[in-house]
């Protein structure tokens, strides 16, 4: 894409009303626009990153048997009244219409379990795994962390439906492994820990995926060797012992919860009458689990964890473009741009009529992993540099095509 055609502009000044690093950089780069506290719109570059994250998550969810749906955002109170959560204090962050006619999508256990009654009748119908990627709405009190904690935010939520707890346990492990893959693919695998957290009625612990970072609201205790952690909320001598960990070796860190997985058991199926007939014709409640990842929070986490003092550093897997071609001299990059495009190489071409300094500053802010420079000085060659490195290299057009296609 030609940068002169991109409608968004970068900003030099840090937005005064933003305190979080992720929102400051994403707003300055033109990835997102702040509408109000905790509410952001995604602009073209932001959508490109979001789609790449989304596709990685979608691929992994499909590979473990997930079927994608898109549930309604306006929610009928009926199934929530059946479960007792319509007026429950644990759901106090819910946005509802003035007369409480509808709820605005906060989570989807009830509506999905309720509609599953039409699709699950016998043990032969199970297991079923269903997920969606959609905006959620919550009255978050501390909406000061930019996209880490929005009042409107995008979540992938998967729900599992099994015959029994053994089926649930197997899928739970499978989903945990696929979450590990997701966090590795988006570039934070080495900083993200499988973390024991507080459970519900059904299981002693739930599990969170926590990425080490000072912007995080959680505190975790990490066992580096085993690659697992304990959330402070369940951290006791007893927990440490139960998990077979050595208290002396645990390292305390701040972390961001990028995802979580939860065993729900029969909490919702019993309340909503979601049962199946087993081989003997007995009605048995379906065993459920829920599995979330925040996409905006994940994008913000990448910014918090990987950026430097010049700007964002996107991993190649989610970067809006693979490379940023900068021409210093009008039209100098045109041939190379066309050749790159012909070879299906994803490139942002800075053909704008501004100074070299401004182009370099923008390139660092936008964080595309590779920078190409063509100028009267480089002649028929290209100066290439990685966003994360100080040193540049000179290569020929042919080498560039070979290396990047």
- What DSSP assignment string belongs to 79-109? HHHHHT-TT-GGGTT--B-TTSS-EE-S--H
Binding site for ligand ATP (CB under 6 A): 107, 138, 140, 149-150, 153, 155, 257-260, 292-294, 296-297
User: Of the two residues 215 and 373, which places its CB atom closer to ligand ATP in the complex?
Assistant: 215
Six-digit token pair at 395? 């290569």
User: Of the two residues 3 and 301, which places its CB atom closer to ligand ATP in the complex?
Assistant: 301
Least Å distance, CB 40 to ligand ATP, is 10
Closest CA to 206 of 255, 253, 257, 248: 257
User: Of the two residues 64 and 345, which places its CB atom closer to ligand ATP in the complex?
Assistant: 64
Q: In terms of DSSP bridges, do strands 287-294 and 323-327 run parallel, antiparallel, or are they unpaired?
A: unpaired
Least Å distance, CB 24 to ligand ATP, is 17
User: Of the two residues 50 and 363, which places its CB atom closer to ligand ATP in the complex?
Assistant: 50
Least Å distance, CB 291 to ligand ATP, is 8
SS3 5: helix
Least Å distance, CB 50 to ligand ATP, is 13
Least Å distance, CB 32 to ligand ATP, is 13
Closest CA to 267 of 336, 206, 182: 206
User: Of the two residues 289 and 333, which places its CB atom closer to ligand ATP in the complex?
Assistant: 289
Conformational region of residue 88, where left means phi above 0, alpha means psi within -120 to 50, and beta covers everything else: beta
Least Å distance, CB 247 to ligand ATP, is 25
Characterize 176-191 residue by residue with b for buried, 16 or more Cβ atoms within 10 angstroms of its Cβ, and e for exposed.
Answer: eebbbebbebbbbeeb
Q: Where are the beta strands (DSSP E) in 224-379?
A: 228-231, 251-265, 275-277, 283-285, 287-294, 323-327, 347-350, 370-374
Helix (H) or strand (E) holding 47: helix 44-63
User: Of the two residues 162 and 260, which places its CB atom closer to ligand ATP in the complex?
Assistant: 260
Least Å distance, CB 105 to ligand ATP, is 12
Q: What distance in Å separates the CA atoms of residue 272 and residue 384, rounded to the nearest whole number? A: 60
User: Of the two residues 62 and 135, which places its CB atom closer to ligand ATP in the complex?
Assistant: 135
SS3 69: coil
Q: Where are the beta strands (DSSP E) in 201-250?
A: 205-212, 218-223, 228-231
Six-digit token pair at 350? 């800075």
């Amino acid at each position: 894409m030609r940068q002169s055609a991109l409608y968004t502009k970068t900003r030099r000044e840090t937005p005064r009303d933003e305190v979080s690093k992720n929102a400051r950089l994403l707003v300055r780069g033109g990835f997102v626009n702040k509408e109000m506290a905790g509410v952001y719109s995604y602009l073209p570059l932001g959508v490109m990153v979001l789609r790449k994250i989304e596709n990685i998550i979608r691929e992994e969810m499909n590979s473990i048997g997930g079927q994608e749906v898109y549930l309604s955002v306006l929610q009928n109170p009926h199934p929530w009244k059946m479960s007792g959560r319509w007026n429950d204090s644990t759901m106090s962050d819910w946005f509802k219409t003035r007369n409480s006619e509808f709820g605005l999508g906060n989570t989807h256990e009830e509506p999905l379990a309720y509609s599953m009654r039409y699709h699950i009748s016998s043990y032969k119908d199970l297991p079923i795994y269903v997920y969606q990627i959609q905006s959620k709405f919550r009255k978050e009190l501390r909406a000061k962390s930019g996209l880490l904690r929005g009042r409107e935010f995008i979540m992938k939520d998967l729900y599992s439906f099994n015959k029994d707890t053994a089926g649930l346990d197997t899928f739970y492990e499978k989903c945990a492994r696929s979450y590990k893959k997701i966090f590795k693919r988006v570039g934070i695998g080495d900083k993200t820990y499988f973390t024991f957290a507080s459970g519900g009625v059904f299981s002693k612990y739930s599990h969170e995926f926590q990425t080490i970072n000072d912007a995080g609201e959680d505190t975790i205790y990490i066992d580096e060797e085993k690659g697992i952690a304990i959330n402070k909320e369940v951290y006791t001598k007893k927990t440490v012992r139960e998990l077979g960990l050595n208290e002396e070796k645990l390292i305390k860190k701040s972390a961001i919860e990028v995802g979580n997985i939860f065993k729900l058991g029969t909490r919702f199926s019993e309340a909503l009458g979601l049962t199946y007939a087993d081989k003997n014709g007995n009605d048995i409640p379906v065993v459920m689990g829920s599995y979330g990842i925040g996409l905006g929070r994940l994008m913000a986490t990448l910014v918090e964890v990987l950026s430097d003092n010049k700007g964002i550093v996107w991993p190649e897997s989610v970067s809006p473009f693979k490379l940023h071609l900068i021409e210093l001299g009008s039209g100098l990059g045109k041939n190379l741009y066309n050749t790159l495009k012909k070879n299906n190489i994803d490139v942002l071409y800075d053909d704008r009529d501004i100074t070299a300094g401004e182009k370099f500053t923008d390139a660092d802010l936008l964080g595309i992993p590779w920078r190409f420079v063509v100028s009267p000085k480089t002649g028929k060659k290209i100066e290439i540099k990685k966003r994360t490195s100080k040193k540049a290299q000179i290569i020929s057009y042919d080498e560039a095509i070979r290396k990047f296609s």
